[in-house]
C-alpha cells in the first residue's frame, strides 16, 4: 500500500533541494486541483511505496495566499501518513512558528533541521535531544546542499509510517483554559483528532475555519474570543502569536547555546546598506543592468555573435549551396535549405553567444542573492501604483521566459493584483526577445547597450502605468497585498549550479530555434517563394508579400509600415518572438545576407526612430502563443485573456506611435540621446498624472 508524505517548510529553508535529494529523478510536476499553484511529487529513493508531496513554501498556516490554502487543505483533508518539516536551523525562531502549527494538526512529524553546517560555522550549538523532547517529534540534523543526514532522514520517514500522532505544545494556563472552553463548544462538530487545532484557529478568529462550524454556535465562539481579548488586552490573533513565540523562546533558551557568539553586522548587512538604499538602490540597479548588456551586446557577447554570424553567412551558407548544386538537387530544395532553413534558423542561432553571456551574468546575480534585493528595492515604487514587490518578482522571472513569469503571479495574495501582474508581466523583455533587441541595436545604434536598457525601462513604466489603468476596472480594483520576503545572505555562487542553469537556458534557446523557429522558417520560405497559383516567384510577388502589404498600412504611423517584410515579421512573432529574426533571415537571404549582412539590410531600410518603434511594438504587444496560454490559465477564461491581449496590443501601438512621432517631429533622425528624453518625459508625465502625492517620496521613508 502506498504511503503519502508531506514536505513543508518556510521559503528559502532548503525545501526544494531536500525534495530533490529525497526523490532523485522520480518527480512529477502539475497543478493542484482547482488552483494554479504548482504541485510536485516524487517517490522516496529506494522506497517506491512512499510518495513525497512537496507543498508550497509558506510562513504560516493562516489562509491568506493560495499557497497557504493548498498546504493547509492538504494536511487537513488528504491526511498524509507523515509530515517532514524542513526547518532552517540558522533562523530557528522564525521557522518554528510554522512548526508549532503543523504539530497541532496531530500528524506524525519529523523535523529536518537543515543548514546545520551554517549554524556550526557561527559557533552556535543546538541540543537536538532537548529540542526533540520539547516539540514532541523526531529531529534529524541535515544539510540538503551537501547531502548530510539524508539517509538518517529517510530512515526516520519510514519509521513514522503508522506511528502515533504528535500532541502539540502546551501553552499558558490562561490560554489553555480558553482552548478547553472552545473544545467543549465545538465538540461533535469537527473531527475528534483535530478538535484542539480547530479550537486554536477559532480563537485566532480564522474566518475559513469559522465557516466550517454551524451558525448555531457562532455567538458562543465569539463570546469566548471576546472574553479572551478583554482579559488579555490584545486582539485574538496577536494573543495566539505571542503565546507561540513565548513558547518558542522558552524552548530555544533550553536547547540553543550561542556561547560567546555576538550579533555583529555581517558583510551582507553592510552591502545592503548601499544597494537597498532609498536613494542609491535604483541607480545602482540601472547601472548593473547597463553593465550586463554592455558586456553581452557590445563586448564579449557581441564579438562572439559577429564571428558566428560571419561563419554562417560567409562559410556555411555558400558551402551548403555549393554542395547541394553539385549534388544536382532541385532549385526549390536548394532555396528551402539555404535561404529558408539555414538563413532563418542561422539568423537566430547567430545571437547565441550574446544569449550565453547574458544568461551567465543573470544567473550569477541570482545565485549571489542580489536579485531578491531588487524586488525589495522596487516594492515601495510598485505599491504607489497599486502593485507590490511580489509583482516585481514575477517581472524578474519573466526576464527569462514569459510563461513562468506569468505563473509566478500565483504567489500574490490579492486577486486583482495577481490578475494585473499576469496581464502585464510580458511587457518586460524575455530571452526570446533579446535577439530582436540585439538586431536593432546592431543595425541602427552601433550595438549600444543603452537600447536594451531603454526597452526594459519602457517595460517597467508600462507595468506601473497598467497598475493604475487596469485598477479602474471594477473587477480589478483592490489594495496591494503585504510584501514579506526574506533577504538571503550574499554568497559566492556554486560553479556547478551556475554552469547548469546557464546551459539549461542556452539549450532552451537552441531547442526553440530547432523546433518552432525551424517550422516557422519553412512556412515563411514557402509563402515568400510561391504565389497563389503555387508558381515559384520572387519574394515581392509572393503570397506572403500580398499578406504583408495588407497589414503594413497599420504600421505606417509607427514608422515601419513602408516595407511589408516588417509587418510579416511582427505577425510571425506572435507564435514565438525568435521568429521575428528567423523571418527576416529568410526574407533577406536572397542576396546572401546573414549575420552582419542582416544588420546592414535592416539598417538601410529603417530610420533610427522607425527601428526603435518596431522594436518597442514587438517588445510590448501580445506575447507568444505559449505565454497567451499561460495567461489563460491564470485569468480563467478566454474572454478575459482576449481583453488582456487587446490591451497589450493597444498599449504597444500607443507607445510606439508616441515615441516615433515625438522623435521625428522634434529630433528628426538625430543621435540616440533622444531616447533618453523620450523615456524621461514619458515617465515623469505618467508619474505626475497618476501619483496622489507626486513629491511625497521626499518625506516618506523606505517601506520595510
- The residues facing 86 across adjacent strands are 9, 112
CB 644 within 8 A of CB 621: no
Q: Does residue 243 sit within a domain?
A: no
Percent of the chain with pLDDT over 90: 5
Domain boundary among 112, 132, 160: 160
pLDDT, averaged across the chain: 79
Indicate if 79 and 194 belong to the same structural domain. Answer: no
pLDDT tens profile 100-138: 888 888 888 999 998 888 788 777 888 889 888 888 889
pLDDT tens profile 352-363: 887 788 788 878
Report how far residue 324's alpha carbon sits from residue 286's, in angstroms, rounded to the nearest whole number: 49
Indicate if 153 and 47 belong to the same structural domain. Answer: yes
Weakest mean pLDDT among 53-62, 444-453, 589-598: 589-598
> In sequence order, what DSSP letters do the residues of 282-328 get, joined into one string?
HHHHHHHHHHHHIIIIISHHHHHHHHHHHHIIIIIHHHHHHHHHHTT
Mean pLDDT of 504-531: 78
Indicate if 536 and 433 belong to the same structural domain. Answer: yes
CB 497 within 8 A of CB 658: no
> Is residue 241 scored above 60 in pLDDT?
yes
Indicate if 292 and 356 belong to the same structural domain. Answer: yes
pLDDT tens profile 387-430: 766 777 778 777 777 776 786 676 676 677 888 888 888 898 88
Indicate if 487 and 405 belong to the same structural domain. Answer: yes
- pLDDT band at residue 268 using 50, 70 and 90 as cut-offs: low
pTM (two decimals) = 0.61
Range of the domain at 285: 281-698
Instruction: Name the more confident of 165 and 318.
Output: 318
- pLDDT band at residue 86 using 50, 70 and 90 as cut-offs: very high
pLDDT tens profile 205-223: 877 777 667 667 788 888 8
Mean pLDDT of 506-533: 79
Indicate if 469 and 588 belong to the same structural domain. Answer: yes
Q: Does residue 271 sit within a domain?
A: no
> In sequence order, what DSSP letters do the residues of 100-139 get, joined into one string?
HHHHTT---EEEEEE-HHHHHHTT-EE-HHHHHHHHTSEE
Grid cell of 345 as nine digits: 534558423
Domain total in the chain: 3
The domain spanning residue 129 has which CATH number?
Answer: 3.40.50.300
pLDDT tens profile 292-313: 878 877 788 778 877 887 888 7
> Is residue 172 scored above 90 in pLDDT?
no
Domain boundary among 110, 125, 160: 160
Q: Does residue 624 sit within a domain?
A: yes
Instruction: Name the more confident of 344 and 248.
Output: 248
Q: Does residue 52 sit within a domain?
A: yes
Indicate if 13 and 138 belong to the same structural domain. Answer: yes
- pLDDT band at residue 653 using 50, 70 and 90 as cut-offs: very high
- What are the respective helix, strand and coil percentages of the chain, to the nearest 5? 65, 5, 25
Q: Does residue 82 sit within a domain?
A: yes
Report how far residue 134's alpha carbon sits from residue 250's, in angstroms, rounded to the nearest whole number: 10
Domain boundary among 160, 192, 212: 160
CB 365 within 8 A of CB 685: no
Report how far residue 58's alpha carbon sits from residue 411's, in angstroms, rounded to the nearest whole number: 10
Tell me what pLDDT residue 649 has. 92
Percent of the chain with pLDDT over 70: 83
Tell me what pLDDT residue 671 has. 47
- pLDDT band at residue 695 using 50, 70 and 90 as cut-offs: very low
Q: Does residue 631 sit within a domain?
A: yes
- pLDDT band at residue 280 using 50, 70 and 90 as cut-offs: confident
Indicate if 151 and 188 belong to the same structural domain. Answer: no
Indicate if 660 and 523 belong to the same structural domain. Answer: yes
Indicate if 333 and 225 belong to the same structural domain. Answer: no
* Residue 31: burial class (beta carbons within 10 Å; 0-12, 13-18, 19+): middle
> Is residue 482 scored above 70 in pLDDT?
no
Tell me what pLDDT residue 648 has. 92
Indicate if 154 and 54 belong to the same structural domain. Answer: yes
> Is residue 702 scored above 50 in pLDDT?
no
Tell me what pLDDT residue 309 has. 74
The domain spanning residue 212 has which CATH number?
Answer: 1.10.287.1770
Q: Does residue 660 sit within a domain?
A: yes
Report how far residue 365's alpha carbon sits from residue 388's, in angstroms, rounded to the nearest whole number: 22
- pLDDT band at residue 645 using 50, 70 and 90 as cut-offs: very high
Mean pLDDT of 317-327: 86
Q: Does residue 421 sit within a domain?
A: yes
- pLDDT band at residue 683 using 50, 70 and 90 as cut-offs: low
> Is residue 231 scored above 50 in pLDDT?
yes
Indicate if 342 and 225 belong to the same structural domain. Answer: no
Highest mean pLDDT: which range of 450-459, 500-509, 593-602: 450-459
Amino acid at each position: 500500500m502506498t504511503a503519502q508524505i508531506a514536505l513543508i517548510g518556510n521559503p528559502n529553508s532548503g525545501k526544494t533541494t531536500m525534495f530533490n535529494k529525497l526523490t532523485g529523478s522520480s518527480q512529477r510536476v502539475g497543478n493542484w486541483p482547482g488552483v494554479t499553484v504548482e504541485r510536485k511529487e516524487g517517490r522516496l529513493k529506494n522506497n517506491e511505496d512512499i510518495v513525497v508531496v512537496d507543498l508550497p513554501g509558506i510562513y504560516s498556516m493562516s489562509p491568506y495566499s493560495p499557497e497557504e490554502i493548498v498546504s493547509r487543505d492538504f494536511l487537513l483533508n488528504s491526511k498524509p501518513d507523515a509530515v517532514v518539516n524542513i526547518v532552517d536551523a540558522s533562523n530557528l525562531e522564525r521557522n518554528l512558528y510554522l512548526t508549532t502549527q503543523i504539530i497541532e494538526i496531530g500528524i506524525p512529524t519529523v523535523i529536518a533541521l537543515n543548514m546545520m553546517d551554517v549554524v556550526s560555522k557561527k559557533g552556535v550549538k543546538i541540543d537536538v535531544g532537548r529540542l526533540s523532547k520539547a516539540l514532541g517529534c523526531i529531529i534529524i540534523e541535515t544539510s540538503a546542499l551537501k547531502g548530510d543526514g539524508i539517509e538518517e532522514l529517510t530512515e526516520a520517514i519510514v519509521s513514522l509510517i503508522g506511528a502515533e500522532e504528535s500532541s502539540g505544545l502546551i501553552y499558558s494556563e490562561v490560554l489553555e483554559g480558553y482552548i478547553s472552553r472552545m473544545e467543549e463548544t465545538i465538540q461533535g462538530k469537527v473531527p475528534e483528532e483535530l478538535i484542539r487545532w480547530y479550537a486554536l484557529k477559532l480563537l485566532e478568529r480564522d474566518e475559513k475555519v469559522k465557516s466550517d462550524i454551524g451558525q448555531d454556535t457562532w455567538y458562543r465562539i465569539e463570546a469566548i474570543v471576546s472574553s479572551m481579548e478583554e482579559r488579555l488586552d490584545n486582539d485574538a490573533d496577536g494573543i495566539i502569536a505571542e503565546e507561540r513565540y513565548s513558547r518558542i523562546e522558552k524552548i530555544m533558551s533550553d536547547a540553543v547555546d550561542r556561547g560567546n557568539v555576538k550579533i555583529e553586522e555581517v558583510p551582507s548587512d553592510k552591502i545592503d546598506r548601499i544597494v537597498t538604499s532609498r536613494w542609491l538602490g535604483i541607480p545602482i540597479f540601472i547601472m548593473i543592468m547597463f553593465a550586463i548588456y554592455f558586456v553581452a551586446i557590445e563586448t564579449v557577447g557581441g564579438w562572439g555573435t559577429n564571428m558566428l554570424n560571419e561563419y554562417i553567412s560567409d562559410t556555411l551558407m555558400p558551402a551548403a549551396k555549393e554542395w547541394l548544386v553539385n549534388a544536382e538537387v532541385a532549385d526549390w530544395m536548394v532555396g528551402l535549405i539555404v535561404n529558408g532553413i539555414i538563413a532563418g534558423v542561422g539568423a537566430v542561432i547567430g545571437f547565441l553567444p550574446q544569449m550565453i553571456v547574458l544568461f551567465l551574468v543573470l544567473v550569477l546575480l541570482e545565485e549571489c542573492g542580489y536579485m531578491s534585493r531588487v524586488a525589495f528595492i522596487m516594492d515601495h515604487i510598485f505599491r504607489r501604483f497599486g502593485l507590490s514587490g511580489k509583482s516585481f518578482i514575477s517581472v524578474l522571472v519573466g526576464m527569462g521566459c514569459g510563461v513562468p513569469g506569468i505563473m509566478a503571479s500565483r504567489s500574490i495574495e490579492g486577486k486583482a493584483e495577481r490578475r494585473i501582474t499576469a496581464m502585464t508581466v510580458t511587457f518586460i523583455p524575455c530571452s526570446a526577445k533579446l535577439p530582436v533587441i540585439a538586431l536593432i541595436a546592431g543595425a541602427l545604434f552601433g550595438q549600444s547597450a543603452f537600447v536594451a536598457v531603454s526597452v526594459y525601462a519602457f517595460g517597467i513604466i508600462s507595468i506601473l502605468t497598467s497598475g493604475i489603468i487596469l485598477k479602474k476596472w471594477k473587477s480589478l480594483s483592490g489594495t496591494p497585498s503585504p510584501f514579506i520576503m526574506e533577504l538571503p545572505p550574499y554568497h559566492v555562487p556554486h560553479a556547478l549550479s551556475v554552469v547548469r542553469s546557464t546551459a539549461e537556458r542556452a539549450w532552451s534557446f537552441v531547442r526553440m530555434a530547432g523546433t518552432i523557429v525551424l517550422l516557422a522558417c519553412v512556412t515563411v520560405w514557402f509563402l515568400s517563394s510561391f504565389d497563389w497559383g503555387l508558381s515559384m516567384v520572387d519574394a515581392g510577388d509572393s503570397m506572403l508579400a500580398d499578406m504583408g502589404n495588407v497589414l503594413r498600412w497599420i504600421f505606417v504611423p509607427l514608422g515601419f509600415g513602408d516595407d511589408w517584410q516588417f509587418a510579416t515579421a511582427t505577425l510571425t512573432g506572435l507564435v514565438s518572438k525568435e521568429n521575428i529574426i528567423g523571418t527576416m533571415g529568410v526574407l533577406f537571404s536572397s542576396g546572401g545576407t546573414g549575420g552582419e549582412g542582416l544588420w546592414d539590410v535592416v539598417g538601410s531600410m529603417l530610420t533610427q526612430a522607425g527601428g526603435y518603434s518596431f522594436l518597442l511594438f514587438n517588445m510590448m504587444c501580445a506575447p507568444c502563443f505559449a505565454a497567451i496560454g499561460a495567461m489563460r490559465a491564470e485569468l480563467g477564461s478566454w474572454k478575459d485573456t482576449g481583453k488582456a491581449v487587446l490591451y497589450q496590443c493597444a498599449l504597444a501601438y500607443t507607445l510606439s506611435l508616441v515615441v516615433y512621432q515625438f522623435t521625428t517631429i522634434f529630433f528628426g533622425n538625430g543621435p540616440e540621446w533622444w531616447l533618453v528624453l523620450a523615456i524621461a518625459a514619458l515617465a515623469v508625465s505618467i508619474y505626475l498624472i497618476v501619483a496622489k502625492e507626486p513629491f511625497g517620496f521626499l518625506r516618506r521613508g523606505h517601506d520595510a
